[in-house]
Structures are given as C-alpha cells and as structure tokens.
C-alpha cells in the first residue's frame, strides 16, 4: 500500500501503569516485578477503517505493524437470519473468520489465527536475521506457516505429533518454514517446552504468544469488525478459548472503542467456553481462583487427546497475570462455560444447515454454549450478541484440491535434553 504509514504507539504495563517506548520486540516491562501484560497505547484514538483491499490491515490504525504483507483477509461480520430465528434472537451477529468467499472472507488456512500471523509478522523488522519460533496446537502453526512462506520470513514451528494433521496446505511451502514435533502422546504444553529448548540457541527468538501485542491486537480485529459493522459495541461476546488470548484481545479492543467515543460505553460481557473434559480455566474460574489449579500432566495429556477441539488444549494459559483472562472476565462480568464433543458436533451441524458454512469444533463449542444460555433463559432475546466463529470453510478451501502436509524435520521424545534440541536446530536452516 503506497500510502501506508505505521501507526504511532507507546507501551503500557497493566500491573503498574508505566508507559514506555517500544524498543523493538518487547514482550514484558523489564521494570515490572510481577507477571503482567503490556498493551499498545495508540496515538490515534478514533479508528479510521481503510478499504477492503488492505485486507486485515484495514484496521492498521490499531495494529503495531511496520509494513503490509501480501495475502491477508479481515474477519467479516454479518447479521444472522436463519440461526437467529432458530434461537429466537433478534440481534445476533456472526463474526466469521475462515474461507467463505461469498461472504467476503478469504483466510485460506480457514482460521482466525491468520489475524495473529499477519499482525505479528508485520511487526518484525525487515532486517531481522534471527529465526522466529512459534509453538502451536495446530491452527496457529498453519497460519504462521502460510504467512511466512508467502512473505519469505524464516520460521521454526513446534507442534505435538498428534496434531500434525492440522498442518495441511493447498500448495507446498517455501523452505524458509521448518517444523519440529514432540512425540506421540505429547500435547500443546509439550510443544511449548520443545520451542523453549530451541530458543536457547542464539539463532532464534520467541514469537511471544499472548504477551506479543501484535498477536492480541491482530486478534482484536474480530471485535473491531463487529463494532464497526454493527455501529456499536455488542452486549455479549461468545468464543471458545484455549489460551483466552482472543477474549483478552476483544476486551482490550472494547476499551479502545469506548475511548473512540462513537460505539457506546458498554463492556461486552465475555462468555468464553472450553471443550470437556479439558477444562482447566473453567475449574479455576468456578473456584474463583486467579491461579490455575493443579492439573496432573498425565491426566491433562489424556484429556487433551479426548477433545475434538484440539486447539483448545492449553495447560498454561495467560489466565492469572495482570491483564489476563481472569481480569478480563471480572471487568466484563463474564463467565466460562463448557461444551462436550457431542454438543459441539450438534452445533457445527446446525450452523452448516442454517448459515451454510462448515465450522471447526472450537467455534462449535462457542455456539453450543450460546445455545445453552438461550435455552436457560439467561440471555435477552433482543440483546446485541457477537458470536466469534474462529474457523470455518475447510470444505470449500480443500474441495477439488490436492493437499500438501508439512512434515517434521525431526520428532523429539518428550524427555529430550536441551543439548539434543540446540545442536539439532543450530544446523536446521
């Protein structure tokens, strides 16, 4: 984009309120003594949404990006008719991320994780010589692989072996993208551990997960899409969560929208959901505990294997730190709910029948909990509801195409040593 200019912003530590400049790839406030998010404070207080040909970067006023990368697509929000009628709701809005060209959304990896990847990768300095490291349960890896491959950015992915079937692509990737995996039986937490070992090599640097402002502000485009389409901040926000980062991002976007002054003054009630039996954040929330409760590693791995929505299996989410999910739920009078595999399957089937788009199990979990709220009479029929459909359209994206799978360069045992990983990744690129 010829007239693209990076937006100006500072960083603010949530725990202390200290504001400081972004000196590059900052993930924490070095002066803060307790775990805390840092947030971007954008100079531009009223967002000016750009044209559709900007893709995700139509929201660049509130993205900490240095450039525009090719191939992005923004989430699309539309008013539901068939599903809303079925549920007896008059003001249900669906924010759709995925592949559905007829609705104007073209995320070819079919996941809202593209919103993160295009924002994070556009925050990287073009002269960066180190290699980006991303740990993922599947969808995030697929999104980062596509963006880095298309834009020639070096990337090392760490993914659990049991989730490798999520790494499908419609064409081969550039060899600037490499993959290592943790052995069968491992989960997302094991993949994070593997990525942390790789990061002990000076050739690599961490993407940062939830602490990366670009990741959260990229995901916040779902809320920005909803508010700028509807013309107001929704009353309710529904989303399934593994880490809760998307919901934290929605809360942060909501506060910016209040400051903007044109979209209302309410905080959307965050109703987030987990896929039973893997429900560590639900358990902590029910106990009103800021700290996560003990979760035996063996049981956690087994529970992660049992759920359909594998992307929701984060054992170490950004829950209790300042500015994390616990704070977001308290601030918005929100709640955590649970849906089973069977409930998610029924919700996915219903969405396909009524809205005409296939969705992944995770947004099926979110829809299932909306259905529960409606059936319990706990939601007003005329409330402005945003349903965040975080992945959709795989059937259309894959139809008639030969799929290409990214294979790991090496699969490491769960008990691997630092030296084994470092010596391997040092010669990988």
What string of H, E and C letters represents the secondary structure of 53-78? HHHHHHHHHHCCCCCCCCCCCCCEEE
What mean pLDDT is reported for the chain? Answer: 96
The answer to whether the pTM exceeds 0.85 is yes
- Can you tell me the mean pLDDT for 143-160? 96
pLDDT at residue 3 tops 80: no
Q: Where are the beta strands (DSSP E) in 33-166?
A: 38-42, 76-79, 92-96, 99-100, 105-106, 131-135, 155-160
Banded model confidence at residue 5, pLDDT cuts 50, 70, 90: confident
Q: Is 70 exceeded by the pLDDT of residue 90?
A: yes
Say what the pLDDT of residue 370 is: 98
Confidence of residue 206 (pLDDT cuts 50, 70, 90): very high
Q: According to the model, what pLDDT value does residue 137 have?
A: 83
Rounded percentage of the chain residues whose pLDDT exceeds 70:
100
Give the angle 214-216-222 at the CA atoms, nearest 5°: 115
Q: What confidence score (pLDDT) does residue 61 get? A: 97
Which value, in Å, is the radius of gyration of the alpha carbons in the chain? Answer: 20
Residue 349, pLDDT above cutoff 70: yes
pLDDT, residue 1, reads 60
Percent share of the chain, pLDDT over 90: 95
Q: Determine whether 43 is exposed, middle or buried from the number of CB atoms within 10 Å of its CB (0-12, 13-18, 19+).
A: exposed
User: How confident is the model over 279-304, as a mean pLDDT?
Assistant: 96
| All residues at 6 or more sequence positions from 164 whose CB lies less than 8 Å from its CB, including other chains | 181, 405, 406, 407, 408
Lowest mean pLDDT among 186-195, 266-275, 346-355: 186-195
**Cβ-proximal residues to 289 (8 Å cutoff; 6+ apart), any chain:** none
Segment 318-346 shows an average pLDDT of 98
DSSP 3-state of 303: helix
Cβ-contact 398, 170 below 8 angstroms: yes
- 359 SS3 class: strand
Pick the range with the lowest mean pLDDT from 137-141, 227-231, 393-397, 404-408. Answer: 137-141
pLDDT of residue 397: 93
| 293 backbone dihedrals φ, ψ, rounded to 5° | -80, 160
Neighbours of 397 (CB within 10 A): 21
Instruction: Taking residues 346-356, report their average pLDDT.
Output: 98
User: 121-146 burial string, b = 16+ CB within 10 Å, else e?
Assistant: bbbbeeeeeebbbbbbbbbbbbbbbb
- pLDDT tens for residues 359-373? 999 999 999 999 999
Residue 305 predicted with pLDDT over 80: yes
Measured distance CA(390)–CA(59) in Å, rounded: 18
- Is residue 412's pLDDT more than 70? yes
Comparing 68 with 2, which gets the higher pLDDT? 68
**Residue 144 backbone class (left: φ over 0; alpha: ψ -120 to 50; beta: rest):** alpha
Residue 236 has pLDDT above 70, yes or no: yes
| 267 alpha carbon, distance to own chain's centre | 20
Which of 82, 109, 88, 90 has the alpha carbon at shortest distance from 98? Answer: 109
Q: Is the pLDDT of residue 2 over 70?
A: no
Section 339-346 average pLDDT: 98
pLDDT digits (tens, 9 = 90+) for 117-136: 999 999 999 899 999 999 99
The number of residues making up the chain comes to: 429
- The per-residue pLDDT for 138 is 84
């Amino acid at each position: 984009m010829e007239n693209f200019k990076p937006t100006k912003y500072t960083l603010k530590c949530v725990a202390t309120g200290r504001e400081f400049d972004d000196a590059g790839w900052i993930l924490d406030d070095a002066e803060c003594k307790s775990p805390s998010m840092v947030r971007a404070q954008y100079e531009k207080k009223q967002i000016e949404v750009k044209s559709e040909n900007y893709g995700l970067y139509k929201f660049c006023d509130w993205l900490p990006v240095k450039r525009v990368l090719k191939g992005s697509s923004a989430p699309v929000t539309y008013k539901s008719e068939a599903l809303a009628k079925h549920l007896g709701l008059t003001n249900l809005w669906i924010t759709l991320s995925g592949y559905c060209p007829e609705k104007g959304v073209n995320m070819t990896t079919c996941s809202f994780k593209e919103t993160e990847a295009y924002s994070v990768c556009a925050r990287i300095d073009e002269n960066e010589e180190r290699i980006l490291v991303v740990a993922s349960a599947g969808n995030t890896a697929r999104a980062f692989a596509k963006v880095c491959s298309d834009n020639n950015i070096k990337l090392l992915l760490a993914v659990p072996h049991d989730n490798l079937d999520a790494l499908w692509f419609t064409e081969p990737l550039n060899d600037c993208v490499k993959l290592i995996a943790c052995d069968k039986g491992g989960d997302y937490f094991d993949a994070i551990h593997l990525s942390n070992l790789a990061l002990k090599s000076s050739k690599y640097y961490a993407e940062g997960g939830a602490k990366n402002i670009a990741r959260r502000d990229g995901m916040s485009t779902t809320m920005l899409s909803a508010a700028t389409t509807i013309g107001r901040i929704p009353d309710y926000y529904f989303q399934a969560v593994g880490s809760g980062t998307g919901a934290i991002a929605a809360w942060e976007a909501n506060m910016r929208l209040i400051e903007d002054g044109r979209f209302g003054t309410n905080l959307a009630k965050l109703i987030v959901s987990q896929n039973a039996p893997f429900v560590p954040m639900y358990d902590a929330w029910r106990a009103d505990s800021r700290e996560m409760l003990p979760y035996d590693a063996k049981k956690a791995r087994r529970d992660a294997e049992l759920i359909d929505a594998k992307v929701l299996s984060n054992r170490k989410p950004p829950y209790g730190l300042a500015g994390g999910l616990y704070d977001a739920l308290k601030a918005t009078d929100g709640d955590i709910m649970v849906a089973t595999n069977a409930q998610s399957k029924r919700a996915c089937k219903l969405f396909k029948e009524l809205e005409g788009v296939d969705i992944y199990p995770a947004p099926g979990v979110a829809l299932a909990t909306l259905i529960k709220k409606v059936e319990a009479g706990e939601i007003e029929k005329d409330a402005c509801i945003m349903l965040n459909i975080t992945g959709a359209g795989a059937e259309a994206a894959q139809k008639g195409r030969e799929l290409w799978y990214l294979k790991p360069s090496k699969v490491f045992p769960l008990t691997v040593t630092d030296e084994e990983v470092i010596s391997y990744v040092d010669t990988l690129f």
